[in-house]
Structure 1
Amino acid sequence: MAATNYLDDLTNTVLHNLEYQHDWTRLKVHKQPGTARPLISGLPPRRLYVHPDEQIELIMAEKNREERIPQPPEFEWVLPTHLAEKWTIKGFAEVFDSIGPIPPSDNPQESSDLEDEDAQWKQWRGSKRGKRILMATVQDDSTVVYYLMHDGIVKPRQN
């Protein structure tokens, strides 16, 4: 029972931080089969990650169009953790195995909006993107630090 309360408290701390400090919306807690850890899904106020190859395609497409291409935010998975926890590759693999590329949406139209368009740069969005999780690490003073984690090897970004 104590472990459940601990995970619930940790999840609530991260939920509160995302909603009130980082302006996330449509937050939802998921109890995933295959893992005892609750995960959070939500919509950040702006896009968190652009794949390096997508970034190149966007630059070329914007040059041809002579206008900026909108970068709407995408739903993200969030994994609440505590700084004192010891994570293993196996633990992360269990979490990644329990999720899809994008969190389930209450509105099915949202996930299919990007699927219909043929633009080259859209191949890294929606269900075509790789699995990723925003790891929320909470310290004892309730400070939360976020790390973006990908499932597998990911090409580094150009700066």
Structure 2
Amino acid sequence: MDMLSTISTVSPSPLQTLLSDPKLLQTTHPAELLTLAFQIQHNLQYQHSWTALRLHTHSPITNKPLPRPLLSGLPAQRLYVHPEEQIHLLKEAEKRRKAASKDGEDDAGLDFKPEPEREWILPTRLSEKWTLNRLSEVFNGIDMVPAAPESADEGETKVNKWRTTKRLVLATVDADSTVVYYIVHDGVVKPRQN
């Protein structure tokens, strides 16, 4: 076996597969913004176990180009629990704990684990300056909850009744490739109780 035949059988990396997507040729966004989105997508998928990740270059509302490429995906666990929902979930957990203790089960705590929700992700660089106006342009182009990809086995996108404002995950990359994630809401949101 010669060296050339060994090299030709190597499969492409996940990043190469992403970059070869034919839909990318139809976008007007600069290559550096697409590359940034792929970097964040790779980080979410392989470091944080997100699934059903999808690149968005056009608004799902107007079908016009978004101010910059966005991602959507499903995190491994819920990122944000609305304070009212948190109270509701704790009450339900308390009911289950009391029912379990009546049945003789030991150590039934107040654990609750809400189902993960699809989230929007805005890839950014730390060196960028973001204003409320720029964030508003992004929020104006998105729905409350991103639609599930057609290939996902999740079925229809469920909208949580407690989700009353648009939100996104601001993914900020530093020059050393460190990624920090922040949740940003469109408007004023009641603070969480800890």
Taking structure 1 as reference, are residues 34 and 153 closer, same or farther at Cα in structure 2, changes over 3 Å only? farther
Match of 1:109 in 2: 155
Aligned counterpart, 1:147: 182
In structure 2, the residue matched to 1:119 is none
Percent of residue pairs bearing the same amino acid type: 48
How far did residue 65 of structure 1 move? 3.4
Shift in alpha-carbon separation, 1:143–1:70, aligned structure 2, 3 A: closer
Whether the aligned pair in 2 keeps the contact of 1:34 and 1:94 (CA below 8 Å) is: no
Is the aligned partner of 1:37 residue 2:68?
Answer: yes
- The amino acid of 1:49's aligned partner reads Y
Larger radius of gyration: 2
Asked whether the 8 Å contact 1:40–1:78 carries over to 2, the reply is: yes
* CA RMSD across the alignment: 1.9
Residue pair 2:57, 2:70 contacting (<8 A) in 1 also: yes
Moved more, 101-110 or 50-59: 101-110
- Give the TM-score of the pair, scaled to structure 1: 0.83
Q: How much has 1:26 moved relative to structure 2?
A: 0.9
- Tell me how far 1:83 sits from its aligned partner: 0.5
- Compute the displacement of 1:69 (Å): 5.0
Q: Is the 8 A contact 2:57 2:65 kept in 1?
A: no
Paired amino acid for 1:157: R
| Residue aligned with 1:146, SS | strand
**Which of 132, 136, 141 is 1:93 aligned to?**
136
* Aligned twin of 1:118: none
Listed as ranges, the gaps of 5+ residues in structure 2 are 1-28, 59-63, 101-110
Higher RCO (C-alpha 8 Å, min separation 6): 1
Q: Does 1:5 align with 2:31?
A: yes
Secondary structure of the 1:36 match is: strand
2:56 and 2:71 in contact (8 A); partners too: yes
Quick one: distance in 2 between partners of 1:20 and 1:55?
A: 29
Aligned residues of 1:135 and 1:146 also touching (Cα < 8 A): yes
Deviation of 1:93 (Å): 0.4
Which residue does 1:50 correspond to in 2? 81
Residue 34 of structure 1 and its aligned partner are, at CA, apart by: 5.4
Residue 156 of structure 1: SS of its match in structure 2?
coil
Does structure 1 retain, via aligned residues, the 8 Å contact 2:52–2:73?
Answer: yes
2:181 counterpart letter in structure 1: Y
Alignment partners' CA distance in 2, 1:81 and 1:9: 11
Matched residue pairs, number?
A: 146
1:19 has 2:45 as partner: yes
Match in the other structure for 1:157:
192
Distance 1:34 1:88, change over 3 A: farther
